[in-house]
Amino acid sequence: MGLSQVTSPSVALSTWLLAGFDPVLIVVAVYLGWSADQVGKIAVAVIAALAVSLLVAWVVTGLGLPSPAPIGRDYPTLIPVRAAAAVAWATAAYVTRRLARWS
């Protein structure tokens, strides 16, 4: 099978956006980003939010419950989108808390 026969997967834009606005990802990233007392702990918040989000989405999909961005053998995991969203949410929470302290 040559590279000319391989097609890239087609995922709707709405699915990409829903993966970035996963409620579990947002809650974990914002909570850990808010409670981080050092910039380096944002990385820990991102990794934890990504892991918890993927695990919960996998369990929800496995149980057959509806999920905005399901994970499974036949579905994309959309890890780059989830990781970028986790970075954005955790950083926003960290910066917001720092700005609130200065006011």
**pLDDT number for residue 13:** 78
How confident is the model over 7-48, as pLDDT tens digits? Answer: 666 777 777 888 889 899 999 999 999 999 999 999 999 999
For the chain, report the end-to-end CA distance as a whole number of angstroms: 62
Q: pLDDT of 59-90, one tens digit each?
A: 888 888 887 666 766 677 788 899 999 999 99
Q: Distance between CA atoms of 10 and 31, rounded to whole angstroms?
A: 33
- How many angstroms separate the most distant Cα atoms in the chain? 62
Provide the pLDDT for residue 11: 73
CB contact at 8 A, 86 and 49: yes
Q: Is the pTM of this model over 0.85?
A: no
Choice between 9 and 50, residue whose per-residue pLDDT is larger:
50
